[in-house]
Amino acid sequence: MSASTQIVKRKARSFPAPSVIPGFRATFGFTLFYLSLVVLFPLSMLVIRASELGLAGLYGVAVEPRVAAALRTSFFISFAAAAIDVVFGLVTAWVLTRYEFPGRRFLDAIVDLPFALPTAVAGIALAALYAPNGWLGEPLADYDIKIAFTRWGILVALVFVGLPFVVRTVQPLLAEIDVELEEASATLGASRAHTVWRVLLPPILPALLTGFALAFARSVGEYGSVIFIAGNLAYISEIAPLLIIVKLEQFDYAGATGIATIMLAISFAVLLAINLIQAWSQKRFGHV
């Protein structure tokens, strides 16, 4: 008894907690060193440059009309794309986990395509597909619908990019739901639609929100798959990441830093939101 209390006491003092396993200092040291060198040091450079600008400077960059327009474009279209992904991602995840049909496993595997396909390849493929002479662009042009080289093109590219985030966040939860809950609901007289709406969907809501946040965060920063189909007209179809590159090419480092800092702040806000959603979900449903 006294020996175990001693261990507990030592645990509080030593770093790491005592263990017979060797190699902590080497692996932990290398981890910290490599992390600092490759990630933390360069990122802190951005923070330092941004603090040199100061809040007033950052605000000045943000309200510059072209920057404001680009941020708005990125923000709103990413939001819309993530919303579309939530709807179709839920249907896709539902179909893939609940139904058996020929080609299901193939479709399940292909959902990850946006993760695996390089963004530039996706970009030129989407541009070719929706261009006025493309497979989809040509028939759509007959109805006077233009996708490529407009804001709709950005939306299409961002829907592509964000889809797997929603599907892969929702899918494991759908697979784990206890069938007995649904049976109970049905025996109590609920219609199938009612069961789905009141029994199945609520526990999935946090996952849907997380998927939405992940898709949104990814979309705001997305570059490669968007620029080929966007048209990139300043004030209209220019996304924030592209404007960073434009600023860099003009050697406007302050402007580039400003936009990057704002985007980074958005990412962190989204990360925080995801953590809050998961904490809430843990409390409400007992799962993440």
Partner 1 sequence: MSDALAPAIRIAATRRVTEEAPLTRYLLIGVAVAFLGLFLLLPLAVVFTEALTKGAGAFFATFDEPDARAAIRLTLLVAAIVVPLNAVFGICAAWAISKFSFPGKSVLITLIDLPFSVSPVVSGLVYVLVFGSQGLLGPTLSSHGIQIVFAIPGIVLATIFVTFPFVARELIPLMQEQGTVEEEAALTLGASGFRTFLTVTLPNIKWGLLYGVLLANARAMGEFGAVSVVSGHIRGLTNTIPLQVEILYNEYNIVSAFALASLLAGLALVTLGIKTLLEWRYAGQIAGRRRH
Q: Which stretch binds partner 1 (CB under 8 A): 13-21, 54-62, 64-72, 147-155?
A: 13-21
204 backbone dihedrals φ, ψ, rounded to 5° = -85, -15
Of residues 77-96, those binding partner 1 (CB under 8 A): 88, 91-92, 94-96
DSSP assignment of 196-249 = IIIIIHHHHHHHHHHHHHHHHHHHHH--HHHHHHH---TTTS--HHHHHHHHHH
Binding mask 156-185 for partner 1 (x = CB under 8 A): x--xx--xxx--xx-xx------x--xx--
Out of 118, 143, 144, 283, which residue is the one contacting partner 1 (CB under 8 A)?
Answer: 118
Out of 1, 3, 22, 143, which residue is the one contacting partner 1 (CB under 8 A)?
Answer: 22
What is the Cα–Cα distance from 114 to 122, expressed in whole angstroms?
Answer: 8
What is the Cα–Cα distance from 139 to 168, expressed in whole angstroms?
Answer: 33
Q: Which stretch binds partner 1 (CB under 8 A): 2-10, 62-70, 113-121, 142-150?
A: 113-121
CB 49 within 8 A of CB 257: yes
Out of 115, 197, 235, 280, which residue is the one contacting partner 1 (CB under 8 A)?
Answer: 115
Nearer to partner 1, 150 or 255 (CB): 255
The one-character DSSP state at 3 is H
17 interacts with partner 1 by CB under 8 A: yes
111 interacts with partner 1 by CB under 8 A: yes
